[in-house]
C-alpha cells in the first residue's frame, strides 16, 4: 500500500529539489570565484573566470544528474518491493 500523499510530505520532497538547485548554483559560484581570484592574482584577462564558470557549470550539472538518477533508482526500488 502506497503511503498517503499529504501536503507536508510533498513540500518536504520539494525541498530536495531546492537543495539541488542551490548546490548547482553554489558550484558555479565557487568555481567562478576561484577563476576570478586566479585571474586577479596572475593579472590575466578573464580567462580563468570563464574557464572556472564552465567547469563549475559542468561539474554542478553532473552532480545534480547523478543525485537525480540515484533518487529515481531508489524510487524504482521502493515501487518494486511493494
Q: What nine digits make up the cell of 10?
A: 510533498
What's the average model confidence in pLDDT over 10-36? Answer: 91
Phi-psi region of 81 (alpha: psi -120 to 50; beta: other; left: phi over 0): alpha
What's the average model confidence in pLDDT over 23-30? Answer: 96
What's the average model confidence in pLDDT over 20-25? Answer: 95
Cut 0.75: pTM above it: yes
Decide if 49 contacts 39 (C-beta within 8 A). Answer: yes
Summarised one tens digit per residue, pLDDT across range 33-79 is: 999 999 999 999 899 999 999 999 999 999 999 999 999 998 898 88
The pLDDT of residue 15 is: 86
Among positive and negative, which fits the CA dihedral 71, 73, 78, 79? Answer: positive
Helix extents (H) in the chain: 7-42, 47-81
The pLDDT of residue 10 is: 67
Amino acid at each position: 500500500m502506497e503511503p498517503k500523499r499529504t501536503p507536508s510530505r510533498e513540500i518536504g520532497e520539494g525541498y530536495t529539489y531546492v537543495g539541488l538547485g542551490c548546490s548547482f548554483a553554489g558550484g558555479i559560484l565557487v568555481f567562478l570565484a576561484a577563476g576570478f581570484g586566479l585571474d586577479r592574482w596572475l593579472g590575466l584577462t578573464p580567462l580563468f573566470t570563464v574557464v572556472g564558470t564552465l567547469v563549475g557549470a559542468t561539474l554542478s550539472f553532473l552532480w545534480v544528474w547523478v543525485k537525480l538518477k540515484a533518487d529515481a533508482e531508489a524510487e524504482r526500488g521502493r515501487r518494486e518491493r511493494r
